[in-house]
Structure 1
């Protein structure tokens, strides 16, 4: 395995982790983001399957949170109100001036993380980033330290590990917001990909994507227990109000922990490329990208369109602090919070098959 610095300055660091067969993951210190994921095909052309902006500088604002670390809290907190023992906190309401989305405007998704260490071995490579947020930033309590490590091995398994600690009792719910299109063509919809999720229930939302309740996936467009394309499910339920409001999917699935890992499998239409994802998080929010803007400049001289990629956010129950009766676990001062997400990429069209 090899780690290569592609850019290093006070503004940001860009580096790649590369396997012996040329499979590669590129990371950006802004947001501790996944910049690209790809392989060299039979024509010696690099095929990127993770939605990436054309310019590294776009990650400072990152309108799509593309590839970014989400924290201290992924998703929405309704009303921007966080109730913890002995105190209620008012958070930044950066969505419609009503809700706190992905932790507000000063979240870890937009800052330049410190590269703490790199490690190269024969069969793996690891990169560790760290950052801090002060007490009261976007309303969240505690002087907090965050770390995220990316470990890639020769089997094309990328394991992401999150750790966080605070000097005050607070709420952590970190995740990653990478979007994937396994075809590598981000100018076309991802809806013909097959999706499988080991989940018997999903959470339905109101028109502002705030949870309203839990329902079984059976006999609904949310039945992905067997591999099925997004297109097929949406066509089978063309007038389903949940799909209409979300322009597709933007919903949490309650993961079955009694099944063998992985909990989610994403497959290209030609079945040549598969993404397996597992995590210790209780839920995954599937976002099919219906609100992605048209015309955003992407890497590889491509232009975005709605539905051009899908994101899988492994996290707590959405809006867990929001009095929905969902499990809600805060982190006491001085206690370490952790989470992992493991991505396994399987390609039948990679360089070794030339």
Structure 2
């Protein structure tokens, strides 16, 4: 009996060790998995590593479900880390940011932190110019997810949030799957269920710098956006309710535009966003086989295609980064040193009934998929 217990304990420890990175050494991106071991809100955090047959590596922590590093080959075959982040779990806790995080229950902003559903008005945390941003201070990005590594290329995360969590209705069960595919893509699949009507808008908040050098800005990178219109914002970054054409504006990325070309223009919308921080209305009609956006860096030769079944993408050009935050390997992140391309429903959709609905009911499973595919 004693031997059976010893064997059982050994097998349990072995399985646990297979679910995280090899703790005897560093990851390809130079991360030490031991620096991600902690207990937060009574739950253990760790660093998990995905690798595919081509040598691409994605490191993910269950604290916020964050993509910590993502190593992809440049035009010379050299692996470069193309996302911003920290190399200590303590920095994710102590420095206010959304680097690589899963965002919910509602990605982006809700006007004045209020919405009405089935005749009931809900009051949410107000953490950004009087609005609710990314679910408030206690959003999914600060939660410890239950994570299971299925294989070298597949991770699943799960989070249950109770009715009234951050002011939102319904007991909600969320499952997110990260898959590193054989064609060099990071696929993020979201599923969620609720026991009463609620709203959901889930996304990932990775900050991309395809040069692999986050000490430099991304103004020379080229963006293509498959979108003929966008949703303008006011000076508090809240959508006005309009949908405007990109034609003849700095927001026309349909044929490709160098990001730095118009980011400091006198355009009123650029001024309101302090640069680009806007939702684009995609022309893809929810077809995930059609490229929604493409980001390209001329120095590394790395390109990233974005696919989604969502109706919009928030393009944020890192305008609030200011060099005060130091990330992995002690590198300070200057203004506009990264691009976020957050697949989503439109900001403040609960208060704009003409826009695609974000209401989820008990008889309807929430589903959303985003793919970031890399090439050189």
- Give the TM-score, by structure 1 length: 0.90
Unaligned stretches of 5+ in structure 2? 1-17, 22-32
Q: Please give the secondary structure, in 1, of the residue aligned with 2:198.
A: coil
SS state at 2:154 partner: strand
Determine if contact 2:222/2:296 at 8 Å carries over to the other structure: yes
Q: How does 1:190-339 map to 2 (within 5 A)?
A: 190-212=218-240, 213-234=242-263, 238-257=265-284, 261-270=290-299, 272-323=301-352, 325-339=354-368
Residue 90 of structure 1: aligned partner: 123
CA pair 41-314 structure 1, distance change in 2 beyond 3 A = closer
1:174 aligns with 2:207: no
Summarize deviations over 1:240-260 as a string: whole Å, max 9, x none: 121122221000110002586
Q: Which moved more, 1:253-262 or 1:271-280?
A: 253-262
Question: RMSD of aligned C-alpha atoms?
Answer: 2.1
Structure 1 unaligned blocks of 5 or more: 348-354
Cα deviation, 1:107-129, whole Å, max 9, x if unaligned, reads 11101101134224xxxx11001
Query: Which residue among 94, 98, 102 is the counterpart of 1:65?
Result: 98
SS at match of 1:244: helix
Please tell me whether Structure 1 or Structure 2 has the larger radius of gyration of its CA atoms: 2
Is contact 1:82-1:89 (8 Å) kept?
A: yes
Aligned partner of 2:163 among 135, 145, 148: 135
The answer to whether structure 1 residue 187 and structure 2 residue 215 are counterparts is yes
Q: Deviations over 1:283-328 (max 9, x none)?
A: 0010001111322111133111110001011100111012373222
More helix by percentage: 2
Contact 2:19 2:149 (C-alpha < 8 Å) held by counterparts: no
Q: Cα distance 1:317–1:43, how it changes in 2: closer, same or farther (>3 A)?
A: closer
Aligned to 2:186: 158
1:38 corresponds to 2:71: yes
CA contact (8 A) 2:211 2:300 kept: no
- 2: CA distance between counterparts of 1:116 and 1:165? 19
Q: Secondary structure at the match of 1:38?
A: strand
Change in Cα spacing, 1:54 to 1:329, as seen in structure 2 (3 Å) is closer
Q: Which has the higher contact order (CA 8 A, sep 6+)?
A: 1
Q: What is the CA distance between 1:42 and its match in structure 2? A: 9.3
